[in-house]
Structure 1
Amino acid sequence: MITEIELDGRARWLDLVSPTANEEAEVENVLGIDVPTQEDIKKNEPSSRHYREDGATFMAAQIVVHGETPLPQTSSVAFILKNDTLVTVRYEQSRAFDLCASEIQRTDRKPTSTSALIGLIEALVDRTSELLEGAANAADDMALSSLPFSEQPSKRRTVAELEGVLAEIQRLHRRVAKVRESLVSLGRMTGYLLTQSELDDPEFRERARSMSRDIISVTDHATFVAQNIQFVLDTLLGVISVEQNAIVKFFSIVAVVLLPPTLIAAIYGMNFETMPELTWTWGYPAALGAMLASAVLPYLWCRKRGWL
């Protein structure tokens, strides 16, 4: 599908979404360029995704798609500047593209093709910032509700609850990883635009430099959020380890308490013919008393050592 958006004067933005071979050929004939396919974008090395050919500037970047779903992805998008025409080639729907197109159609002051490009990059960065902010808030909520802190009464979580928290941490980590991947890609593209002497519009270059600084700032924030999520994961694993140690300690103390009575019962459970206590009138209650004492004394000793 090709969507044409009128810009300033003769400028226009051609947005190709999952284009067919005929649609690609139509754009190629009009602009005299070779429109890269999805395979062309993917097979290029990251260092070879920005170049000039046939009087046009070709760039490619990774953008986050399905950001709110449990399985966010990144999708390759091609950006082409040829004279007064901006061409974008993408194979996934993106909210940032829709918002940018709506803003251009709504405003009275139409941008140029280069201004539309930098505005599109700004929309993509803003979108990744929203996803990053959502991941940061989710990590904070998880830390307050799922992990033990002094202001909350401790409670033992079930295995299903712990698995749910770990799964949520995995989803947040994946979202932040995809956001950082997109930011790095957009940062490389913005840096490439600043090196092009053909794009000498002062307003464009100032916005591009500002956008480059914003990308660095958001990337630093992404690093902080990733560290926060790692902290939540480490704390949760520590809590699981403490709870497991408490369970093991309980059974160890139970074994220590029950071992002496078991030994006494085993001795007097032997069926030897000559045993002095077998004919003793008070032998049975004495054996029970010895078993009880041998269980109580280790228990009191464990309490005194602070193990219980």
Structure 2
Amino acid sequence: MMTTYTVADGRLDLGDGIQPASILRAATWIDLLNASREEVQAVEQALALELPTREEMQEIESSSRLYREGEALFLTANFLYGADQGEYGSTPITFVLAGHTLLTVRHATPKAFAAFGNRARRTPSLLSSADAVMLHLFEQVVDRLADILERIGADMDRASQSAFRTARGTTHKKANARDADLKSVLIALGEVGEVTSRARETLLGLTRILTFINAEKGQALRKENKATIKVLERDVRSLVEHASFLSNKANFLLDAVLGIINIDQNGIIKTFTVASVALMPPTLVASIYGMNFSSMPELSWRFGYPAALLLMICSAVLPILYFKRKGWL
């Protein structure tokens, strides 16, 4: 799907689908979402450039993601999407600065793109130039990531409180309920770690793009947008630090929850160990008197049976009392 944004006399003209070459050359922003081959060819012919394929966008080396061809800049990074729906992922998006036109090539829709598209419809002045559109998109992405990291922090606080509240409630909470609580905490921490890592991947991609733009000696950005670059770099740096803090906190909580689970498992294993040790002497007594040798004098003793039972009970109780005295129970 191709969407063109053209500003003329302060008015925004939107175009869907393949447009004439004159309109494509006059557009400030051309957004290609899962574009067909015909749409890609129309853009390439109108702007005299070659767009990267989906496979080329997925390449991880820097030279394949950030480069210049003639007067056009090609900037590719992975962006987080789907965090609200829980079906989150990362998708490569390519920004092409070609003269006064910005092209975005993508195969998924991060919420920041949809939000900026709605803003641009209400405020056409945001589309004053191609570099301004790109920077506004980056600002929207950064704002979106900040909201996601704030929500992740709140989710992590709730998971932390739930984990330690569950650990303190050992005397009255059933084992099944405790296991369910700890399982939910582990799932929450896993989701937090996954979203945080993908958010950091997005921030790393933005950092590389901003660094590449600053290193370009050409007129990639207008002079009035230099200050916006500095603000973006500062915001991205602060979010990277916050994402690192959340990642470290998630690892700490994960270790704490696993420690709680290990303590519970050790308690269960200790119970079975004590039970097996306490039953060993009675088993030995029963084994001895179960041999039925004819020369055993106790076989003809009138009180042999109750004496054997008493001996087995005492041999089971004495180890338990010993373990309690040592504090092992």
- State the TM-score, normalized to the length of structure 1: 0.90
Answering whether residue 97 of structure 2 is matched by residue 76 of structure 1, we say: no
Answering whether residue 66 of structure 2 is matched by residue 50 of structure 1, we say: yes
State the distance in 2 between where 1:128 and 1:267 align.
73
State the distance in 2 between where 1:148 and 1:277 align.
58
State the distance in 2 between where 1:34 and 1:222 align.
36
State the distance in 2 between where 1:63 and 1:224 align.
20
Q: Which runs of 5+ in 2 are unaligned?
A: 10-25
Answering whether residue 160 of structure 2 is matched by residue 143 of structure 1, we say: yes
CA contact (8 A) 1:8 1:112 kept: no
CA contact (8 A) 2:74 2:94 kept: yes
Higher deviation after alignment, 114-123 or 19-28: 19-28
Q: Which runs of 5+ in 1 are unaligned?
A: none
Answering whether residue 236 of structure 2 is matched by residue 215 of structure 1, we say: yes
Answering whether residue 80 of structure 2 is matched by residue 59 of structure 1, we say: no
Q: Which runs of 4+ in 1 moved over 6 A?
A: 8-11
Query: What is the count of residue pairs matched by the alignment?
Result: 308
CA contact (8 A) 1:2 1:23 kept: yes
Q: Which residue of 2 aligns with 1:6?
A: 6
| RMSD of Structure 2 on Structure 1 (CA) | 2.4
CA offset digits 1:140-198 (Å, max 9, x no partner)? 22222134567655643466665554344333222211111111011100111122331
| Equivalent in 98, 101, 107 of residue 85 of structure 1 | 101
List aligned pairs for 1:211-250, cutoff 5 A: 211-250=232-271
Q: Which residue of 2 aligns with 1:193?
A: 213
Higher deviation after alignment, 10-19 or 118-127: 10-19
State the distance in 1 between where 2:285 and 2:234 align.
78
Distance 1:264 1:44, change over 3 A: closer
List aligned pairs for 1:1-308, cutoff 5 A: 1-7=1-7, 12-43=28-59, 45-107=61-123, 109-110=125-126, 111-148=128-165, 152=169, 155=173, 156-157=175-176, 162-197=182-217, 198-199=219-220, 201-308=222-329
State the distance in 2 between where 1:297 and 1:43 align.
70
Distance 1:38 1:230, change over 3 A: same
Q: Which residue of 1 aligns with 2:23?
A: none
Q: Secondary structure at the match of 1:87?
A: strand
Aligned-pair identity in percent equals 34
Say which structure, 1 or 2, has more relative contact order (CA 8 Å, 6+ apart): 1
State the distance in 1 between where 2:251 and 2:176 align.
20
CA offset digits 1:73-92 (Å, max 9, x no partner)? 11111111122211111111
State the distance in 2 between where 1:265 and 1:44 align.
71
Q: Secondary structure at the match of 1:307?
A: coil
